[in-house]
Homo-oligomer: A and B are copies of this chain.
Amino acid sequence: MARPTSLSGFPESLPAGRVVEQQIVDDLRQTFELHGFAGIETRAVEPLSQLLQKGEIDKEVYLLRRLQADADAADSHADPRTLALHFDLTVPFARYVIENSGQLEFPFRRYQIQKVWRGERPQEGRYREFLQADIDVIDRDALPFHYEVELIEVMADAFSLLPLPPMTMRINNRRLMQGFGEGLGLNSAAMTTVLGALDKLDKIGPTAVAELLRERAQLTSPQVDACLALAAIRGHDAGVIEEVGALGVTSELLDQGLAEVALVLDHATAINRPGFTVLADFQVARGLDYYTGTVYETVMSGYEHLGSVCSGGRYDSLASDGRTTYPGVGLSFGVTRALAPLLARGVLASSRSVPTCVLIALPTEVDRPSCGRIAQALRQRGIACEVAPAAVKFGRQIRYAERRGIPFVWFPAAATADGVPAVRDIQAGVQEVADPATWLPPDNERRPRIVTKPE
């Protein structure tokens, strides 16, 4: 086998990096479950016809074909039964809900932590295979507004456990934007163009956006000014509602949207988790074409260039089988997008590369069974351990542990000068008498832990 090379866009971690990922996935799961979300996993594939319903993404889909499929079937592009890898967890979730609606209880709170695939050009924060952690609440026919607030609290709780930089969640509201457009006398086609233009503000700046608004959406100068003024408003409290009011635009839908934003901000203040802020920001326009209420985007402090690491919104129809409509609200945390850059920069690392807490030193190969019994006694009390691979000099056995970051070496009676078993704390260089039936490592050494260092 020639030395293989890594594939661009398909990140893989060394064991120490995997410790960090796994701990973060565990913390996410724990938080989601504490909030009553049930975990599901869907298959990795969907029929292409199902995936293409969300049209804009089609160019990024990976199609599947069996190597030994018939030549006729090989031109599978045209066949709607062709399978493709899912590119997000929302489409498979909607399909799962419709498929199992008779056996699910609504409202259905679910989380889903799985890989997704997109054939995009890879760059930092953008991968071809990446891990997403989604939470959604979906109901039948109607979904109460309070879930649009509750989901923020769930993610805030998750982020407060995770060793990540501070997060700012920027929110906007489809009704507010739509209502603002109505108040300005814009029809819905014009408003779609306006939202598309506002979405470019960060990239091309207000002058160029103003030109787009005038030329493509046929807005008058006062309309352009009002849109740009709205998009410039941001804040953490009800002050933003007053600022919008001061623009002098009114409509019933706008009032409704403003009231919803006020409720979200009010609750966000009450949540008050360290390192987590909610910011109303009426420039946020992504997804406003399919979301119908609150929309969310989240940037990680110092890593704004990654874009949003946690996005979502409310859908009035997340799924529908023709007879029944299922409204939902969801948030999707991009685990790989947030984590891979931190791991690559060494901002997050693991205290050791193996789960092993104790290496049992092996005096001679004949002692392997008795050393195995010591290991078993420790394992029964939840202490990860392994017996040394070979009965070499103890100095080499200690170095085996050191190279892996294993914090303790256990010396059985046959290995100590006084014939009494002892455990050595490698870092401290201290050795003490120990009984495998009662000895305990310090809590912070029991498992590998995440260590953070400033960049």
| Chain A contact residues, CB within 8 Å of chain B | 1-7, 10-15, 18-19, 21-22, 33-45, 47-48, 50, 53, 58-69, 74-75, 77, 83-85, 94-96, 98-100, 103-105, 107, 109-110, 115, 117, 119, 129, 139, 144, 146, 150, 153, 157, 267, 270, 319-322, 353-356, 365, 368-369, 372, 379, 382-387, 389-390, 400, 403-404
Contact = CB atoms under 8 A, between A and B. Distances in A.
28 contacts: A1-B98, A1-B319, A4-B98, A7-B83, A12-B43, A14-B100, A14-B103, A15-B39, A15-B104, A15-B110, A18-B38, A19-B38, A19-B39, A34-B384, A35-B379, A36-B386, A43-B129, A60-B68, A61-B66, A62-B66, A68-B119, A69-B119, A74-B75, A105-B400, A105-B403, A109-B354, A144-B389, A146-B365
Nearest to A10: B43
B41 A18 contact: yes
B3 A22 contact: no
A85 B99 contact: no
Nearest to A53: B1
B62 A105 contact: no
Given A63-B66, A84-B67, A105-B353, A36 B385 contact: yes
| A-side interface mostly | mixed
A34 to B, nearest CB: 4
Contacts of A85: 64
A1 B64 contact: no
A390 B95 CA distance: 26
A107 to B, nearest CB: 5
Nearest to A17: B40
Contacts of A83: 7
Contacts of A365: 146
